[in-house]
A and B are shown apart, each in its own frame.
Chain A
Amino acid sequence: MFRDVTFGQYYLADSFVHKMDARVKLLLTLLFMVGIFFVKSFVVFGFVAVYLLTVILIARVPLRSVFKSIKGIIVLLVLTAVINILFTKGANDAEQPLWSWSPWNGFTIEIYANGLIKAGKLFLRLVMLVMGSSILTLTTTPVDLTHAVESLLKPLRIIRFPVHEFALIMSLTLSFIPSLIEETDRIIRAQKARGADFDTGGLVKRAKAFVPILIPLLVGGFRRAEELANAMNSRCYEGATKRTCMRVMKLSWRDFVAGFVAVAFFTGVFLLYGMAKKWGDITWLYY
C-alpha cells in the first residue's frame, strides 16, 4: 500500500514492524525508553544492542537512516561525555586517577576510570534512546502516530482533558505544514526580489529583516484559520460530541507477538537490575 508521506522521516517499507499497530509501537517504544534507564552494565547494554539491531533488521530500515538520527544530538553527546569524564571522582577514596594535570596551584584535572565508565554508559544510553525512538518514526507515519496518541489518551477524558481537540490540532498541523512551508518560501523570494537582505548586518538588523516575512505569514495564518473554520463548519463540525471515526485500529497477531517478546525482554532487564542491587558482588552485572 502506497502512502505518500510528505515530511518526517518515515521510511517506506513493507515489514513486520511497519504493519504493527501504531499504539503498540508507541507503547513498546516508551517501554524501551524507560527500560534503558535500568541498564547498569555493559553486558546488559550488549543485550539491548542486540535487541535493537534485531528490531532494525525486522523493520527493514537501513542502518544508515537510524544512525542519521544520532547526528542531531552529537553536540549533546560530546558535551555530556566530556563533563562526565572531567568531573567524576573515583568510585572510592582508594581509586587513583588514571591521569592528572595541574596547570596552576589549587586546580587539578583528574580523570578516573570511574568517569570513563560513567561517560561510556551515558553515551550508550543516549545513543540507544535516539535509535529506539527513530525506529518508531521511521516505521510509522505521522498520521498513524496522531491516531495512536488520540486512542491512547482516551482515558484522560475522565479528567476532562480535551483528547479529541488535542488530536485534531495535531492532525491539522500536519496537514498545514507543507503549505505553510511553501508560503514562507514564496514570501522570502518575493521580499528578496524587492531587495530585502537576510544575510548581512548585525543581529538587530537581521532580526529586523524578518519582519517583512513574519507579518505576511501571520496575516496569512489568520486568513487560513478563518477559511479553515468555515470549511470545517460547512462540513458539520460540532466538536467531539457524536463524532465517529473511519479508521479502526485493530490489534493483530503481530502486535501480540512483538508485545510478548518486548515485555519478556525488559522484564529480564528489570530483573537483572534488581539482582545487581541485591547482590552487588556479581561484577559482570555491574560493569
Chain B
Amino acid sequence: MSRTSRKSKVIPKAQPPQNAAIFAQDLNFTYNPKSPFAKHALADINLTVGKGEFVAIVGHTGSGKTTFVQHLNALIRVQSGNLFVLEQDLAAKKPDLKKLRQNVGMVFQYPEYQLFADTVLADVCFGLKNFGIDKEQRQTMAKDALELVGLEFDKIKDKSPFDLSGGEKRRVALAGVLAMKPQILVLDEPTAGLDPRGKSEVLSLVKKLNVEQGVTVIMVSHDMNEVYENANRVIVFRDGMIAYDASPRELFRLESEIESMNLEVPAMAAFCNELERNGVRIPDKCKTVDEVLAATLWQREARNV
C-alpha cells in the first residue's frame, strides 16, 4: 500500500517501464489557468498501470477522476508533467491521435445518449470508419462487437438505435467502442441508471474482456460493491491527488479512512473485516457473496474437527 505524497517538481523525462499500459509522471492540470476561475484539477499524479490490469477509479465529483481519465485518450491534453499511454508520449507536440484513440476505447457516462446513426450497424461502424477500416472488414468487426455485447447481429443491425430499449441502447453504444478492439478500455460509470440485471451483464462483459482478451480496464465507479468484486486495484482520487492506490481487499480494510472520505465500505468487505477482527481469516480472493459464504463454511468445518 502506498500513499502517494507530493514530490518536488521538474523531474527529467523518464521512460515508461516495460509492459506499462499507462505511465503518468507528475501530471498536473488546471482548468482556466491564469484566470480568476482557475481550478487545480490534478496535482502531481504519479501512476503506472500495467497491461491487463483492472483498475477502478473512485472519488467524489470534483476529485479529478474524470479529468484524469480524459487525459488517457488526449481529450484533455497534457499541461504539465508526463503521460505515456501504450508507449505513446502524450506530452509530445503532436501525438498520433488516431492510433491512440483506436487503442484506447472510451465509454462515457450514459453512452446511449451519443447514438446518432439511422441503423445500429452504421452507428457501430462509425468509429471503424473514422479509423479508416475498409467496408468489408467493418461489417465483420461490427458483427463481432454486437455479438460480444450479447445482441443478435441479423436481428438488430438494420434497426434504428432510437427504437431500442434502454439496456439495448447501452449495449449498442458499448459495441461502438468495442468494435475497434481497443487495448485499453476506459469506462465512466458504465452501469449508471441500469437495473440490477443490466448492471451485472455489463460488468461481466467488462470482466470477460479483461480476463479472456487481456484488455486493460480503467473503470470509474461510485458503486463500491461493484468495485470490490471486479477490480484488481483501486485508486482513490481526492482533491486532484491520488489518496490511495491499493488492492480492493487492502483498501477496504481501512474502514475509518474510507468512511471519513464519505465512501461506502462494500458489504462483503465489512463482513470479512469483522471476522478478521475476531481472528477469523477469510482469504483475500473471496469477494462475492458465494465466495465469502464458502470460506465461512470452511472455517466452521475446520473448527468442527
- Distance from B205 Cβ to chain A, minimum over Cβ atoms (Å): 18
Contact (A194, B113) CB under 8 Å given A186-B108, A189-B108: no
Q: When the two chains form their complex, are residues A192 and B101 in contact, meaning their CB atoms are under 8 A apart?
A: yes
B64 within 8 A of A: no
Partner of B116, one of A186, A189, A195, A216: A216
Q: Which residue of A lies closest to B118 (CB)?
A: A215
User: In whole angstroms, what is the CA distance A145 to B43 when docked?
Assistant: 41
User: In whole angstroms, what is the CA distance A191 to B115 when docked?
Assistant: 9
B273 within 8 A of A: no
Which DSSP category, helix, strand, loop or mixed, fits chain A's interface?
A: helix
Q: Which residue of B lies closest to A222 (CB)?
A: B162
| B residues less than 8 Å from A215 (CB atoms) | 116
| A residues less than 8 Å from B109 (CB atoms) | 186
Q: When the two chains form their complex, are residues B113 and A220 in contact, meaning their CB atoms are under 8 A apart?
A: yes
Which DSSP category, helix, strand, loop or mixed, fits chain B's interface?
A: helix
Kindly identify, within residues 206 to 238 of chain A, every residue whose CB is under 8 Å from any CB belonging to chain B. 211-213, 215-216, 219-220
Q: When the two chains form their complex, are residues B73 and A193 in contact, meaning their CB atoms are under 8 A apart?
A: yes
| A residues less than 8 Å from B127 (CB atoms) | 194-195
Interface string of B126-165 (1 = CB under 8 A from A): 1100110000000000000000000000000000001000
| A residues less than 8 Å from B117 (CB atoms) | 212
User: In whole angstroms, what is the CA distance A216 to B70 when docked?
Assistant: 21
- Distance from B113 Cβ to chain A, minimum over Cβ atoms (Å): 6
Q: When the two chains form their complex, are residues A190 and B114 in contact, meaning their CB atoms are under 8 A apart?
A: yes
B177 within 8 A of A: yes
Q: Which residue of B lies closest to A196 (CB)?
A: B130
| B residues less than 8 Å from A95 (CB atoms) | none
User: In whole angstroms, what is the CA distance A197 to B130 when docked?
Assistant: 8
- Distance from A161 Cβ to chain B, minimum over Cβ atoms (Å): 37
A187 within 8 A of B: yes
Partner of B106, one of A190, A212, A220: A190
User: In whole angstroms, what is the CA distance A278 to B256 when docked?
Assistant: 87
Q: When the two chains form their complex, are residues A187 and B131 in contact, meaning their CB atoms are under 8 A apart?
A: no
B176 within 8 A of A: yes
Q: Which residue of B lies closest to A193 (CB)?
A: B106
B240 within 8 A of A: no
Interface string of B76-115 (1 = CB under 8 A from A): 0000000000000000000000100110011011010111
Q: When the two chains form their complex, are residues B126 and A192 in contact, meaning their CB atoms are under 8 A apart?
A: no
Most A CB within 10 A of own CB, among B109, B114, B127, B180: B114
| B residues less than 8 Å from A213 (CB atoms) | 116
- Distance from A216 Cβ to chain B, minimum over Cβ atoms (Å): 5
User: In whole angstroms, what is the CA distance A212 to B131 when docked?
Assistant: 15
Q: Which residue of A lies closest to B108 (CB)?
A: A190
Most B CB within 10 A of own CB, among A183, A190, A194, A220: A194
| A residues less than 8 Å from B116 (CB atoms) | 211-213, 215-216, 219
User: In whole angstroms, what is the CA distance A186 to B101 when docked?
Assistant: 16
| B residues less than 8 Å from A187 (CB atoms) | 113-114
| A residues less than 8 Å from B130 (CB atoms) | 194-197
B75 within 8 A of A: yes
| A residues less than 8 Å from B176 (CB atoms) | 194
Kindly identify, within residues 193 to 233 of chain B, every residue whose CB is under 8 Å from any CB belonging to chain A. none
Q: When the two chains form their complex, are residues A193 and B126 in contact, meaning their CB atoms are under 8 A apart?
A: no
| A residues less than 8 Å from B101 (CB atoms) | 192-195
Q: When the two chains form their complex, are residues B75 and A195 in contact, meaning their CB atoms are under 8 A apart?
A: no
Contact (A216, B102) CB under 8 Å given A195-B127, A196-B130: no
| A residues less than 8 Å from B111 (CB atoms) | 190
- Distance from B76 Cβ to chain A, minimum over Cβ atoms (Å): 9
24 CB contacts below 8 A, A to B, read: A183-B113, A187-B113, A189-B75, A190-B106, A190-B111, A190-B114, A191-B114, A193-B105, A193-B106, A193-B108, A193-B177, A194-B130, A194-B177, A194-B180, A195-B101, A195-B131, A195-B180, A196-B130, A212-B114, A213-B116, A216-B114, A216-B115, A219-B115, A219-B162
In the complex, besides A189-B75, A193-B106, 19 extra interface pairs with C-beta distance below 8 angstroms are A186-B108, A186-B109, A186-B113, A189-B108, A190-B111, A191-B114, A192-B75, A192-B101, A193-B75, A193-B101, A193-B108, A194-B176, A195-B127, A195-B130, A195-B131, A211-B116, A212-B114, A212-B116, A219-B116
Closest 9 CB pairs of A and B: A195-B130, A194-B127, A193-B106, A215-B116, A190-B114, A212-B116, A190-B108, A195-B131, A216-B116
